[in-house]
Every structure is written in C-alpha cells, then in structure tokens.
Amino acid sequence: MTHAQPLELLKQARNRFTQREIAEHVGKDTKTVRRWEKGETPCPAMLEPALRDLLQQPATGTTEGPGGHSFRFIDLFAGIGGIRMGFEAHGGECVFTSEWNDFSKKTYIENYGDHHPFVGDIVPYPAEDVPDHDVLLGGFPCQPFSIAGVSKKNSLGRPHGFECTTQGTLFFDVARIIATKRPKAFLLENVKNLLSHDKGHTFDVILQTLRDELGYDVHYKVIDGQHFTPQHRERIIIVGFREKTGFSWDDLKLPEEGPRLASILHKTDGTEPVIPWDGDRFFDHNKQSVQPRYTLTPNLWAYLQGYAEKHRAAGNGFGFGMVYPDSVTRTLSARYHKDGSEILVWQGQNKRPRRLTPRECARLMGFPDSFQIPVSDTQAYRQFGNSVVMPVMQEVARIMTPHVQALIAHERDGTPLALPLFS
C-alpha cells in the first residue's frame, strides 16, 4: 500500500482539526504530524483507520465558517499562545501571529504549527498586510506612555489622535491595526497595575483611544486566576466590540472555590501520568519522585532564610513564599528561574524545599499536559511567568463568542443583533 491515501486523509482532517487534536487522536506529538504534512516523513499506512475514525467525528468548533471555524482571530504579543488556546477552544481560527522572542516562538510553533503568517516585531509591520480577522487578541506589554506636548483634550476628536498620545508604545501598534482592519471585537490583557499606572492617566489614554477615537464599545474587568488554578494572579481584561452588543461580565462563570496546589503537583503515589514529550525530564517515574535538581541547594536555601530573617527584623514583609498541598500560590513571575523564592514547595520537616518544575508551572497556568515544553528550564520559567491563566481566557472567549458570531451574521446577511442566551 502506498502512503498517498493516509496523507490525503490527513489533509482532509487538517481542514477541520488542529495539529494538536490530530496528534492526540493518533497518539503522536504535533511535531510528527507537522513532518507528515510537510512530507519530511511519510504518513504511516497503519494510521488510516484512526484518521478515518477522526473524520467521522464533529470538529471541536462550530460549523458556521470554513473548516469548522466560526470566527478568525489574530494573536499579537502572542508569547506561548495562552490566549490563542482559550479562543481556539470556542471555534476560533488563528490567521496571524506576532511574537518577537525566538524562544517563545519555538514553543509556540512546536504546539500550534506555522500554517499562517508569523512575524517577529509587529512595530514595523504594515497594518494593511495583517490578514482580515474578526477578533484581535493581544497581551500587550505596558510601557510608559509618552504624551509630551499633547493634552488629552487636544487629542480627543482628532481622526488619528491616538498617534500623538501613544506614540512609541506597543499599545500604539494594537491601535493602528484596529484602526486599519476594524475587527468586530478585540481582547487585550495586561497586569492589574495598568489601572493605576501614572495615577490612572495611562489607562485613561487607552480607554480614550479605544472608545472615543476608534469607536468601540469597551468593557474591562480584573479577573483573578485563582478561580481556575491554585495561583493568585490578577489581570485586567479589556474587551471591545465594533458595535453595541449584549456583552456583559455578569455572564462569566467563575468558580467560587478554586483548586489547591496538590492538583498541579507531580504525584509520587504512582499516579503521575507518563507524558511522552517530557520523558523523565521533570519527574523520575522509576523512583516516583521529582528530579533532585529542583530541590534548592543548601547555600541558596540558607541565603533565602537569612534574607527573609533580615527583612522580618526590619519590619518588612519580604521573604520567600512556602507552599503546601492545600495552598494557593503567589503570582508566578518571569524571574522564577533565578531562585524560585515566590513559590517554594514544602518537602517535609527538616528538608529543603524545591521549585516547581516547568511542567507544574504549565499546569499552574492552566495549560494541559499535551502542551509541549521544547526549551530549557530557564526559558520555560520565563515563558510561563509571562503567560496568562489559560482557563480565564477560555471563559472570556466563551462569553465573547456568541456576540462575535452575531456581528458576523449581521454583517453577512443583515441578521438583527440579539442578546445571546447562555446556559
């Protein structure tokens, strides 16, 4: 038998399913599926039954658009794709990605493939060249806003006034793409402190730009990730729609009691899953224990204890954060690779604590174990520390999607905009 038939089935499956979904169904990783698609290795004939079975199943998204997708989105300042994953879960198709960090790009492509334009720095990229899309997603970095010589009052009402008030910041690049492409909706994510930065002036400029100058109906809310994962992580989510919709934050379903740390820690009782792409990198399955390199060295542990004691004596609250199975952790930061001090896992009386492993960090951010970690531990810690709590994004995508679909239908065939009903 030739390999043409399985390859043709694979192509049919890719019209409806992501590489990750196909990989999970046939028991391979996304890198292998990508190699089959590119012709680097032949698609095995033995996979024909599995692929035929997959094609009998409904796609994960709705079937309102081509390929089973109900809307198209772009992923700016993408990091490792945490926002993307949340919107793919509700039928979105990513058509463009921007991420400047090469290590993050490696992780991103490993998990999502590269079947659409992927650019590094978005700053010099022409907005006109960005593909048409329904939703713009962006976890934009917050940089100081330079408004030298330009008052808010003067910029109001000017067609391109935001170029004055936000020039030189990465938010400007979000704004110029929204202004040019006019997506039906957007979601922007940032640290909670964006609200108070520069005594609130920064956020005022952002709202002024999105509402007054770009004309979007804007809603924002601070959401704590601990509703979904055992981590206290407050982030501001800014959502906007090109037209008035029935969107309301009241439709969010945030569990009152979130999980505790034990739910994401490696299990030492024989129930830790074997993750093919991890192997024994983080967890020794023969010894049923976390790899010893994650335990703090005697010198580092002594230093952190001394540092904490010095600050306690001075009346300061600085120190390490010890966590236990029933804990909710502090916010995981991008500097976690340095000493792990904000989240140290207790390992027993008179034993040195340990860092979370990168796999545990992935779980702490709500990423599934199917998410691959192809970079060094240092880079992985940075990437997860800079990422989003994925289930938060998935929940926001859930309540945004019906309104996006309504706007698509309204534009396509004049369907009246109506308030969607949530179950």
Active site residue 142: yes
> How many angstroms separate the CA atoms of 286 and 270, rounded?
9
Q: Residue 407 is encoded by which pair of tokens? A: 């706007």
Angle at 158 between CA 154 and CA 164, to 5 degrees: 65
Cβ neighbours for 167, distance < 8 A, ≥ 6 positions apart: 146
> How many angstroms separate the CA atoms of 268 and 284, rounded?
10
> How many angstroms separate the CA atoms of 297 and 276, rounded?
29
Q: Residue 224 is encoded by which pair of tokens? A: 């704590």
DSSP state of 213: I
Q: Residue 105 is encoded by which pair of tokens? A: 């790009």
C-alpha closest to that of 214 among 234, 252, 196, 240: 240
Cβ neighbours for 267, distance < 8 A, ≥ 6 positions apart: none
> How many angstroms separate the CA atoms of 73 and 184, rounded?
10
> How many angstroms separate the CA atoms of 211 and 411, rounded?
21
Helix (H, G, I), strand (E, B), or coil: what is residue 396? helix
Catalytic residue from among 43, 142, 164, 361:
142
Contact 165, 208 (CB under 8 A): yes
Catalytically active residues are: 142
